[in-house]
Structure formats: C-alpha cells, structure tokens
Structure 1
Amino acid sequence: MATAPVPGPVPGSLRAWLLSPAPASRRQARFGRWFRAWLGFRRNPLAMSGLAIVALLVLMAVFAPLIADQQSATLQVLQDRLQPASWQHPFGTDELGRDIFARVVFGSRITLTIVVMVGVIVVPVGLAIGLPAGYFGGVVDTVLMRITDIFLAFPRLVLALAFAAALGPGIENAVIAIALTAWPPYARLARAETLTSRRAEFIQAAELQGASHLRIIATQIVPLCLPSVIIRLTLDMAGIILTAAGLGFLGLGAQPPAPEWGAMVSSGRQVLLDQWWVATIPGLAIFIVSLGFNLLGDGLRDASDARS
C-alpha cells in the first residue's frame, strides 16, 4: 500500500520562509537556524517537560500574589501550627502556623531571583576571563587560567560557604558567594571556544581590515561563545539552586521570615518524623525545579549539536 506523502511547508507561509534552503538575507538565515533548533527541541519530550517546569516556575513567581495570600506566608498563627493538608491549607502549616503552600509559591520568587542574579554575574565574568586568555595566549593565558584553576581546586559548596560566612547572611551576600564560585567553568568554556575560532579565516580577514582586538572579540568571537555559555548556564542552574538551598539551610541565605526553600527544609527537620510535610514539600520543590533545569539544559544541548 502506498503511503501518503508528508506535506511540506505551504509556499509563501512563515514556515516556508524559515525553512528556505536558500535564505535571501542574514536575518532569514538566523531565524531559520533558530526555528530548526526549536523543531529539534520540540521533538524531545523530556526537554519539553523541563521547559514546562521552568515556565511554571516563572509564572508562579510573577503571579504569586494571584496564586496565594502573601500574608498567610509570613503571618504566625500558633493555634494552626503543624496542621496537615486541608482545603484551607493545601500543603499544611509549619511550626509557626504559616501556610506552606503560600510560602512555597512566594519562595519561588527568591529562587528565581538568585538564579537570575547569579547568571547575570557569572556569564560576563567568565567571558571577561576566558576570551582574553584564548585570544591573546602566552602570559595572559597562563596568568588567567592559573587564577581559574585556583578557584576550581576547591569544592564549589565549601568555597561558597566560606565566602557566605565571611560576607554575612543575606540573599545579596549569598548571590555574591555563589557567583564567586560558579564563574570558572564559563571562563574555561569561553577560552576553548576562542581557541577554536582564533585562527579562522574570518578573524584573519577582520584583522587585515584593521579591526581592533576589542572589536574582533566583541563582534566576532562573543557571538560564537554565547550559545555554549547559555547552555552551560542552563545546566548549572540546578547546582546554583542546590547551593542556594544549602546556604539557606545553614542560615546563610535569605533570612526569616522570608520563605526561602532551603530555610524551610531546615526548620522542618525537627518535626520530620511526625509532621513530614513541613520539610518534604519545599524539598520536593527544590527537586522538581532542579530537575526541570537539567532537562531543559539537556534539550538545548541536543538541539544545538550539529551532529544530531
């Protein structure tokens, strides 16, 4: 039995414009490459699950006041302490009578804030260290990479704990402590990407045209490094979240009464055997969000792999 042919893109449609084998402009080629990457990403169900989890985290953080009552996340009602799940409190209450559901919802804002702020810091720092090291080489490469190796020699969590203890508790200091320990992999990745393209013909053509080193790095090499760096950042989000939760667990992150997930797990460990939901619910939130970022990062890596 003859099978029906698979319908292709309708001529003149946006899909046909994006999938054109002969793009008429650089913009069309760029958008076409992104669209093909999206088609490959969409065929990965695990990656789509990770995207859904991350999107849910963002929506929950943005619309937190519409999902839960902020007052019930911080208001202490001692007569309602350690209540199990009910219609009034879907996830139960903690040792101070605060609604765990509301605290998990508003805690997503703290988690997302830490993730975004760390990403904003580590990517420029990693590029600022790795790009000159790979481009200039020699003494510059040796000095910058030895500094990077010093930071890589210490376990990330231990070094973050040391910085956080020195800076003092607080969400701002926790972000700085995590960022100071998270930038070395991005520097090494940027250096590797720069070494790959340093002797490329288009770099030599830009040099012959009189372009400065700074201009070549900013306009030619940085766009080549950013996709790999962004994928690495997405994969590292889970580690950033776990490190932030570890600092909160030890009292070095966001301070009470802020609903930080790590601090919630710490406060619930005292009643874990009898009132398991106090520590388990925020622990599950940390696990699900970390899993979502890992799945999303794996999907982005597979979609950007030219061999796949």
Structure 2
Amino acid sequence: MNDTMPARRETLHDWLMSDRPLSRRQASLGRAYNGCRIFLRNRLALLGLLIVLALIVLALAADLLAPYSAYTGDLRSTRLLPPSWAHWFGTDDQGRDILSRTIHGARITLLMVVLVAVLAAPIGLVVGTVAGYAGGLVDAALMRITDIFLAFPRLILALAFVAALGPGIGNAVIAIAMTSWPPYARLARAETLTIRQADYIAAVRLLGASPWRIVLRHIMPLCVSSVLVRVTLDMAGIILTAAGLGFLGLGAQPPMPEWGAMIANGRLYVLDQWWVAAAPGAAIFMVSLAFNFLGDGLRDALDPKASR
C-alpha cells in the first residue's frame, strides 16, 4: 500500500487523524485537517471570518458597490441629510454620501492593515528568533531595544514618528509598523528559547548547518503560527491606531474617506447630525471585533495541544 494514501477500508478521516502518520505529507494534511475542524466548530471565529471576507469584498469592489461618489457631493441639495432610502447612512457636511465613503474607507483600512502586518511581523520574527538563538550580548542588545519601544504607548510613539515623518498614509503605515513589531519579537524569542534545546536542532547543528540556516530553515517556521495568531489579534489595535492618526489629521488627508478622519469630521455635528460619525464608528467597531474573533479561532486551531 502506498503510505501516502489511505487504505481501502480506512476512511479519509481516520487516515488524516492517525496518531502514527507514515509520511510527512500525511502528518501535514492531518494537522491542517484537525485545525480546520477546530476552527469550524467556533461560531464566533466563523462570524469574524465572514466579516473580514466582507471587508475584503468591499475593498476590492468599492467602485462597483458604492452608490455615489466618495469624494464629491452637492452642498446645496444633499448637505447633512439624515438616513433615507436615497442615502442609507445619510450625508456629511459636504453633501457626500456616507455609505459610499464608508465602503471606500474599507479599502484604505485594509491596505493599511495589510502593509503594517507585512512590515512589522517579519521584523519581529527575525529579531526574536535571532535574539533567542544567539543569546548573550546579541540577545541582551536586541531585547533592550525592544524594551525601549515597549515602554511607550503605541499611539503616542506612532504620533511621534508621524510628526517627524509628516502626515500621510505612507508615513502612518511606517509609524504604526515601527511601533508594532516588539510584541512579535518577544513572542518569537520565547518560542526560540524552547525550540533551540530540542534534539533535532542539536542534530542539525552536528550535521554542520550554520546558525543562520538553523534559524531560517528550522526555528523560524515553527514560530510562524504563533506570530500569525498574534498578528491577527493585533489587527484591531492596528485599525484603532490608524483611525486615531486619521482622527488627529496625521493619517489619510482630506478628501480621502478614511474612517478615523470621517469621525473627526463628524464630531462637529455629533449632537444634531449623529449619523455623520456613527457609520465609520460602527465600521471600526465591527471590523475590530471580527479580527478579535478570528484571532481567537486561529489560536485554538493552531494550538498543537488542542484535542483531536
């Protein structure tokens, strides 16, 4: 019998859930299958996944789904209109449709979140694994730099970087990424301190593998799942930080429909025209909650100690 395929009398489920896999392929497929089963049993995680997928669809198809222009409006006839069949979320002080601006704002939010994750996670992963495996002065130096970044609140440190770099989406992404990598470095270092004592790491070292090869090929891949879960859980914080910079005028600049900037514009009318700030505020709340639900589900699914 081919060891990579289930026997005739053995179901696919039993083959995937075998405690004694006969090949690396069977073991990998079994872990993925078990993780999917655990994730699909978590209803809140599924709800979070659906909301995140809806955000992606809105971002990709914003031009098709938005009923009006997100940048122009009619000051004379559509200024500060309440929610109605013509404008589901109402209009702002410039006569622009808030629903259209909220839909286009999903594109900006998703772009910033993805860019921050792409920049911050690899930095934290490399710093943490190198520090944990090297030890000594290298570990001490890298962790003291990490402690310096962790000593300041994320938003305050991001404000300092944006003030130095200048307002704008690009600089806001760089500022948030520079303040987001330390927790990933701490997590990767803790994982590396455990992994480097394993027997297979000692065996690879005896075979003559260089330290960089050990870190990149054997330690870092084992830390990816934990960092991935932490990144997903941090998405809510990234969104709130980006919205905070936009609220203060240091992120996306007018007339871009960024959710934080939309709330800043609506604060002037919050008592009488509450709908101006309500829609982007609700969008930030829902997306942040969805990423938290998704992160909790991924944490349970990727936990190697989870029940089979």
> Where on the TM-score scale, by shorter chain, does this alignment land: which range?
over 0.9
1:142 aligns with 140
CA distance in 1, matches of 2:19, 2:134: 37
Aligned partner of 1:287 in structure 2 is 285
2:241 maps to: 243
Match of 1:228 in 2: 226
What is the DSSP-based 3-state SS (H/G/I as helix, E as strand, rest coil) of the residue aligned with 2:70? helix
Give the letter for the 1:239 counterpart. Answer: G
Q: In the TM superposition, what is the alpha-carbon distance from 1:113 to its structure 2 partner?
A: 0.4
The secondary structure found in structure 1 opposite 2:117 is helix
Is contact 2:38–2:301 with CA below 8 Å preserved after alignment? yes
Q: 1:72 aligns with which of 57, 63, 69?
A: 69
Offset of residue 131 of structure 1? 1.1
After TM superposition, give the deviation of residue 76 of structure 1 in Å.
2.5
Q: Which residue does the alignment assign to 1:180? A: 178
Q: What are the equivalent positions in structure 2 for 1:24-39 lying under 5 Å apart? A: 24-39=22-37
Flag structure 2 segments of 5+ consecutive residues without an equivalent.
1-7
**C-alpha displacement of 1:189:** 0.6
SS of structure 2 residue aligned to 1:80: coil
Give runs of aligned pairs for residues 106-255 of structure 1, distance below 5 A: 106-255=104-253
Deviations 1:169-194 (A, max 9, x none): 10000000101111100111111011
CA distance in 2, matches of 1:11, 1:252: 64
- What is the TM-score of this pair, normalised by structure 1? 0.93
Q: Runs in 1 of length 4+ with deviation above 4 angstroms?
A: 10-17
2:79 is aligned to 81
The aligned amino acid for 1:250 is L
Choose the corresponding residue for 2:95, options 94, 97, 103: 97
User: 1:53-105 CA distances to partner (integer Å, 9 max, x unpaired)?
Assistant: 11111111112122114x62111210201011122211111110001101111
State the secondary structure of the residue aligned to 1:270.
helix
Q: Could you tell me which residue of structure 2 aligns to residue 298 of structure 1?
A: 296
The answer for unaligned runs of 5 or more in structure 1 is: 1-9
Residue 202 of structure 1 aligns with an amino acid whose one-letter code is Y
Residue identity in the other structure for 1:257 = P
Q: CA shift at 1:27, angstroms?
A: 1.8
Q: Partners of 1:18 and 1:264 in 2: how far apart?
A: 49
Q: Classify 1:212/1:281 alpha carbon distance in 2 versus 1 (closer, same or farther; 3 Å).
A: same
Cα distance in 1 between the residues matched to 2:57 and 2:106? 10
> Displacement of 1:307 after TM fit?
4.5
Which amino acid in the other structure matches residue 248 of structure 2?
A: L
CA RMSD of aligned residues (A): 1.5
Amino acid across the alignment from 1:113: L
SS at match of 1:73: coil
**Mapped partners of 1:17, 1:253: distance in 2:** 52
* Distance of aligned partners of 1:223 and 1:276 in 2 relative to their CA distance in 1, 3 Å threshold: same
What code does the residue aligned with 1:258 have? M
Q: Is the 8 A contact 2:73 2:97 kept in 1?
A: no
Does structure 1 retain, via aligned residues, the 8 Å contact 2:49–2:294? yes
Quote how far apart the aligned CAs of 1:302 are. 1.8
Amino acid across the alignment from 2:210: S
Instruction: Compute the displacement of 1:41 (Å).
Output: 1.0
**May I ask how many residue pairs the two structures share in their alignment?**
298
Decide whether the 8 Å contact of 2:149 with 2:182 is kept in 1.
yes
- 2:69 counterpart SS class: helix
User: Within 2, Cα distance between the matches of 1:299 and 1:31?
Assistant: 19
Which region of structure 1 is more displaced relative to structure 2, 278-287 or 42-51? 42-51
Letter in 1 for 2:73: Q
